[in-house]
Chains A and B, each alone.
Chain A
Amino acid sequence: MDKWLNRAFLTGLLALLLAVPIGTALWGAEKTTAYYENRTLAERPALTGTSLWDGTFGSAFESWLSDHFPGRATLLKGDTAVQMRLRPVVNGAVLGGEVLLPFRDYDTWSAEEQSARAAERGEKFAALNGYIEENGGTFLFVGFPEQRTYFDSEYPAYLNSCAEETASASRLFREALEDRGVPFLDMGEVYDAQGHPASYYASVDHHYTWYGAWAAYQEIMETLHASGFDLPVLTEDDLDIQTLPNPCIGSRNRKLYNLWPNDDHIVLGIQKDPVAFDRRDNGQPSGTPLFVTPSSAAEPVAYGVYMGGDYGETVLETHRPELPKLLIFGDSFTNALETLLYASFDETRSLDLRHYQGGSLKDYIADYRPDVVLCVLNDSFYYTTAGNGAVWED
């Protein structure tokens, strides 16, 4: 029996060792993206004399082989399911609470360092604010807590929520802007005043929900009204609020291969008498609606429903020249807001500077001279100097 067992064992092992490279060659190499990881897969490295000499070919080949392992996504999904039963933190997501939160490491930030960085950011935004005013516009910075900040009390006591550091960083950032005369709307404060409703933020995604966006819209419109803008404002009576029955894939749950059970659903605020618009995305006419909904109720949806996701530039023209023009730039928190804000302006231009390749924000403002400029950022980007943080270059 021993001999038979040994032969069977060795044959099975050798078959496995050979099956993987064959499988990779036949099927694995075709894939270019890893949906659940939200990234591109490594490309097959080019064999060059230099890369062989310095060893970079070996490490690049290892990345390629790992990324294109046959059945990789299925194996990782299975492993995630097992890990979720064994550990409190899986793939960077904190399990066990009412909401999915990201794991934060235990490093602390120094107050001096934060303070210096806040001053630096304040200078940039002050320069931008001055430039917008020179061009006849009004600037408003709208700051949001990210989901991990909004639900920081949900972290288990033994994990680091970074609550103090985030609060300190946000306070310093806000002070740096306000001290330099930059109008700042702190939506975290607004949400707190409204009782910090849990419904404002997703449990499986890092964004707010439509309800959070709706509250923000109302607050922005009030702030603009106080600044002298007389704009048409949508009220709840103007909207048909619909909850999509589709299962919701949030960015947090995506890391868990959507295995974390939840009741999140995407909510849409559809205008009963919609303001008509023409849309252009990245300079091209676009028929993409405000809400890109799936064709069936079983199909999963994500935050990308709002405006169809992130674009470098989106222009919505309502052809009402009596109304002012809006420029809104920032992260994906803008998307849900745009579905509401555009109805109050003649033209709404939205830039996501992470993706926009058409030039600097400064040039864009000079070219289009918007009446209102909104910067919409969540607190995880306050100190980012690239992308939507690249607001001013001297």
Chain B
Amino acid sequence: MAFSSMTFLFGFLPAVLVCYFLLPTRCRRGRNMVLLLFSLAFYAWGGVRLLPALLASCVLNWAGALLAAPGKRHRKAAYGCTLALNVTMLGYFKYTGFLVTNLNALGADLTVPAIALPAGISFFTFQAIAYLTDVYRGTIPAERSLGRVTLFMAFFPQLLQGPILRYGEFAPALTDRRETVSDAADGAVRFCFGLGKKVLLADALGQIANGAFAAGGRLTVSLAWLGAVAYTLQLYFDFSGYTDMAIGLGRVFGFSLPENFDYPYVSKSASEFWRRWHRTLSFWFRDYVYIPLGGSRCSVPRQLLNLLAVWLLTGLWHGAAWNFVLWGLYYAALLMGERFLWGKALERLPAALRHAYALVLVTVGWVLFRSSGLAQVGEMLSAMFGAAPGGVWSGETVYYLRQYGWELLAAIPAALPVKRWLQTALTQRQQRGSGSAAVTLALAPKVLAAVLLAASVVRLLSSTFRSFLYFQF
């Protein structure tokens, strides 16, 4: 179930809110049970057939963690087996088709299996591995309650797209959280802002990206760049919008979910970009892959190998296709270059140039990411850098600029920390005794959130407008 669906907004959400808040605050287990049941229903809405994979993962990691906890006999074997089963499960659902296709390309004659991919499997598997590893390392105790582990893995606000949680941060809230009116209001505002980002900006910008990436022989230099920039913005507003909604919902229920984005497009290097983009994934790879491999406290060749391994896995985590592998290796190369080759020279450049450097590299990276295969990567990149089959400019570019000009204009300030700047300025004025600043700080976010919610709902409805010229009754 998508957050930006009528079913979620006007069916699931009011139902879970009513059921949850009708239970008294002291009935913590009951409230957790409501969240657990609704989380499973949220997941099963896309097809009950997908539920067994999630439930199996929950049971596996709950039991595996109990057996892998410090002091248990054969805990290393239990950890290794559970870890292997997690990786196998992810591999089976996500990478079997890719593997078989590539084996066939090498001469094998195998049938590519049609395996339904359980939604969010990459996220809940990584959360499970983090939990299992933290228990094995003795960082956190093993959770005895299967229900709590299941709620941790299936918690609906973050189940499908993160942020990737750590049990050590999540567990205390299961027993000790406090739902307050202030947090709920802040959470609701954050949710509405996230919904607006997704529905009003990302979906519109996605139309440009879809058009440009499907242009093929009509591609021009301008359309290729417009499509790449639109996708760069779409992905940010889509993903960060989802994260805002997840964090907002979490706050309504008293949970403090980790931030996943910190205005990544203000970065001045690829390294900085990855400290601002999908932070919970970066931290996961740092803590569970990069540092265990030796991190940067080893020889330079080993460091290079570690970086390569991490980014190869990062690429594959995002999708089972060669363009994702290429995208991962692209960032491996950039991060190696910034660390060992041109990083110091880059720091001496003016901020605007460093910013342009990062933006161009990130945009090129998203072209690798968005393309349907290596052939399209070549098509798009050669078009962006001058060799476009349709020349430099086309009416199609003008159409997209005129049709989605408002979204493009709004996207730029929305991708910058304008909100943060305004908030800081108003807070300072409020501290100096300004009454109007205090009113604006209290009122403006809520008014804007209400407007964004209304506009998003109308836009969602408009997306269901299907007109037929001829009689279709």
Contact = CB atoms under 8 A, between A and B. Distances in A.
A65 B473 contact: no
Interface in B26-40: none
A310 B469 CA distance: 13
A63 B464 CA distance: 8
Contact of B442 (A1, A159, A251): A1
A93 to B, nearest CB: 9
Contacts of A254: 467
A58 B45 contact: yes
Most chain A C-beta atoms within 10 Å of own C-beta, residue among B450, B461, B464, B472: B464
Nearest to B181: A6
A354 B18 CA distance: 50
Between A9, A78, A206, the greatest number of chain B beta carbons within 10 A of the residue's beta carbon is seen for: A9
Given A9-B188, A39-B473, A76 B11 contact: no
Interface string A4-23: 01110110111011101100
A39 B467 contact: yes
A295 to B, nearest CB: 23
Contacts of A6: 181-182, 184-185
Contacts of B468: 37-39
B467 A91 contact: yes
B117 interface: no
Interface in A18-71: 18, 20-21, 24, 33, 36-40, 52-55, 58, 61-63, 65-67, 69
B446 interface: yes
Contacts of B416: none
A2 interface: yes
Contact of B11 (A5, A7, A21): A21
Nearest to A35: B473
B398 interface: yes
Interface stretch (A82-90, A169-177, A276-284, A318-326): A82-90
A310 B471 contact: yes
Nearest to B395: A158
Given A5-B446, A76-B462, A65 B11 contact: yes
B6 A54 contact: no
Contacts of A251: 469
A308 B211 CA distance: 41
A292 to B, nearest CB: 16
A17 B453 CA distance: 11
Q: Which of A10, A80, A91 has the most CB of B within 10 A?
A: A10
A157 B47 contact: no
A66 B459 CA distance: 11
A24 B289 CA distance: 50
Given A9-B188, A354-B470, A66 B402 contact: no
A92 B467 contact: yes
A196 B13 CA distance: 58
A38 B10 CA distance: 26
Contacts of A92: 467
Interface of B: 1, 5-7, 9-11, 13-14, 17-18, 44-50, 181-182, 184-185, 188-189, 211, 215, 217-218, 395-396, 398-399, 402-403, 406, 439, 442-443, 446, 449-450, 453, 458-462, 464-473
Interface of A: 1-3, 5-7, 9-10, 12-14, 16-18, 20-21, 24, 33, 36-40, 52-55, 58, 61-63, 65-67, 69, 72, 75-76, 78-80, 83, 86-89, 91-92, 102, 106, 108, 157-160, 206, 251, 254-255, 310, 332, 354
Contacts of A65: 6-7, 10-11
Nearest to B13: A17
B443 A5 contact: yes
Given A12-B450, A55-B45, A79-B458, A39 B472 contact: yes
B46 A58 contact: yes
A103 B228 CA distance: 24
Given A88-B402, A106-B218, A75 B461 contact: yes
A254 B425 CA distance: 48
Given A9-B446, A55-B45, A58-B1, A14 B14 contact: yes
Given A3-B181, A87-B403, A38 B471 contact: yes
B7 A61 contact: yes
Nearest to A3: B181
Given A66-B461, A87-B403, A158-B402, A2 B442 contact: yes
Given A10-B184, A58-B46, A66-B464, A17 B458 contact: no
Given A255-B467, A310-B471, A88 B461 contact: no
A17 B185 CA distance: 15
B395 A159 contact: yes
A354 to B, nearest CB: 7
Contacts of B185: 5-6, 9-10
A65 B45 CA distance: 15
Contacts of B182: 2-3, 6
A88 B9 CA distance: 31
A67 B464 contact: yes
B49 A53 contact: yes
A270 to B, nearest CB: 26
Contacts of B49: 53-55
Contacts of B396: 106, 158, 160
A86 B407 CA distance: 10
Contacts of B211: 106
A40 B468 CA distance: 10
A111 to B, nearest CB: 14
Contact of A75 (B1, B458, B471): B458
Contacts of B6: 20, 62, 65-66, 69
A158 B17 contact: no
A12 B471 CA distance: 40
Contacts of B443: 5
Highest count of chain A CB atoms <10 Å: which of B215, B442, B453: B442
A251 B468 CA distance: 9
Given A5-B446, A54-B49, A75-B461, A157 B395 contact: yes
Given A14-B14, A17-B13, A55 B215 contact: no
A52 B45 CA distance: 7
A79 B462 contact: yes
Given A65-B7, A159-B395, 20 more contacts: A9-B189, A9-B449, A10-B181, A12-B450, A17-B14, A33-B473, A38-B471, A55-B45, A55-B49, A65-B6, A65-B10, A75-B458, A86-B406, A102-B469, A106-B218, A157-B395, A158-B398, A159-B399, A251-B469, A255-B467
A88 B406 CA distance: 12
Contact of B403 (A2, A13, A88, A102): A88
Contacts of A86: 406
Contact of B181 (A7, A108, A159, A206): A7
Nearest to A42: B464
18 contacts: A2-B442, A3-B181, A9-B188, A17-B13, A18-B14, A37-B466, A38-B469, A39-B472, A53-B48, A58-B7, A63-B464, A66-B461, A67-B464, A76-B461, A76-B465, A78-B458, A86-B406, A87-B403
A53 B50 CA distance: 8
Nearest to B217: A108
Contact of B47 (A1, A2, A58, A159): A58
A2 B185 CA distance: 10
Contacts of A33: 473
Contacts of A10: 181, 184-185, 188
B471 A21 contact: no
